[in-house]
Amino acid sequence: MKQDFRDAMARLSAAVNIITTDGPAGRAAMTVSAVSSVSDEPATVLVCINVSSAAHPILVGNGRLCINILAAHHEDVARIIAGMTGLAAEERMAQVRWEMGDYGQPVLPDALAVLEGDIVLQQQTGTHSVLFVEIRHIRLAAAQADGLAYFGRRFHRIAAGVAVAA
């Protein structure tokens, strides 16, 4: 059943994001697709993180993070941070140009959107922690760009929509 479940989830397309954190517990980044909106009042998202990830204790220890929603041109960055290029974990963040966000977290300057916030609830289920993040700051890209999704264990470009007059 485990492999069937993984194969089924590979058929679920998902946006690609890089989660970053910086604080007393250290600095970390990871590529994730398990991000979902929960509520718009207060603005809250959930992020699912494997508890065996080296970034997990850093994220939880800092208690705050940034969700960088990636554009299609960020595929190389997503691969670097995900460890798909052979770089050691401690070298990955150094390969990317980060800026400090308004809420003190590392942000990609040209991300489609940046959501910085506090972890307000953590729930462990099986191999993962579900982190509920209350958003404190949002920055949207000035220009529209194609998105980046993960489907079938591969990255895919998602064409930006064209506005249609109502």
Domain 2-158 has CATH 1.10.357.10: no
Task: Count the neighbouring beta carbons within 10 Å of the beta carbon of residue 154.
Answer: 8
Query: Residue 149 is encoded by which pair of tokens?
Result: 């999704």
- Contacts of residue 59, defined as CB under 8 A and 6 or more positions apart, other chains included, come to 19, 21, 28, 49, 65, 119, 131
- Complete DSSP assignment for the chain: -HHHHHHHHHTS-EE-EEEEEEETTEEEEEEE--EEEEEETTEEEEEEEETTSTTHHHHHHH-EEEEEEPBGGGHHHHHHHHTTTS--HHHHGGGS--EE-TTSSEE-TT-SEEEEEEEEEEEEETTEEEEEEEEEEEEE-SS---EEEEETTEEEEEPPPPP---
Is residue 67 predicted with pLDDT exceeding 90? Answer: yes
Q: What is the pLDDT of residue 27?
A: 95
Q: What is the pLDDT of residue 162?
A: 65
> Cα angle vertex 36, ends 45, 75, to 5°?
110
- Contacts of residue 125, defined as CB under 8 A and 6 or more positions apart, other chains included, come to none
Rounded average pLDDT over 85-100: 92
Tell whether pTM > 0.75: yes
pLDDT one-digit tens code per residue, 137-146: 999 998 889 9
Domain boundaries, the chain: 2-158
